[in-house]
Amino acid sequence: MTPFKLQIITPEKKVFDGETEQIIVRTTVGDVGILNGHEPYCAALGVGQMRIMINGEFRRAATSGGIIKVSKESTTILVQTCEWADEIDVERAEAAKQAAEERKKAAKSDAEIMLAEAKLSRALNRIDTASFLK
């Protein structure tokens, strides 16, 4: 597979700036795969996993909300957070999951429930992503 340019940028830093052979991201409508020569494409990303192939091997990361933009020259992924599977602190994610579950139970308004569910889905996503390492 021909490699192509990819940039992954979060508000904190540039997570990745290099070449990849294939990208699979979770958009709001489902998983989408990108190969070299893809048509110009733009979609919003939800909470989910992202996989990028480097030298024939997939690298996995947990991402939350953002946007992917494919143009002729390069592909750009802008996300709020992006954690590689091997960088995820599983204990912290478990703690966040429990805290979110408790908050959901204690929540009184719809907004609080939504907030807790968003937290929960992010925690679960991180745990899920990390579990692929084992």
Minimum separation from the CB atom of position 66 to other proteins (A): 7
Binding string, 2-41, against other proteins, x = CB under 8 A? Answer: -----x-xxxxxx------------xxx--x------xxx
Smallest separation, CB 84 to other proteins (Å): 18
Q: For the chain, count helices (H), then strands (E).
A: 2, 7
Q: Which is nearer to other proteins, 55 or 109 (CB)?
A: 109
C-beta closer to other proteins: residue 112 or 131: 112
Positive or negative torsion for Cα 86, 10, 59, 99:
positive
Task: Output the smallest distance, CB 106 to other proteins, in A.
Answer: 18
- Does residue number 44 form part of the binding site for other proteins (CB under 8 A)? yes
CB 4, CB 36: distance < 8 Å: yes
According to DSSP, the β-strands at 4-9 and 75-84 are: parallel
Among 67, 90, 114, 133, binds other proteins (CB under 8 A): 67
Residue-wise DSSP of 25-38: EEETTEEEEEETTP
Nearest CB to other proteins, comparing residues 7 and 121: 7
The answer to whether the CB of 70 falls within 8 A of the CB of 34 is yes
Q: What are phi and psi of 55, to 5 degrees?
A: 50, 45
Residue 80 touches other proteins, criterion: CB under 8 A: yes
Looking at the Cβ atoms of 13 and 134, the one nearer to other proteins is: 13
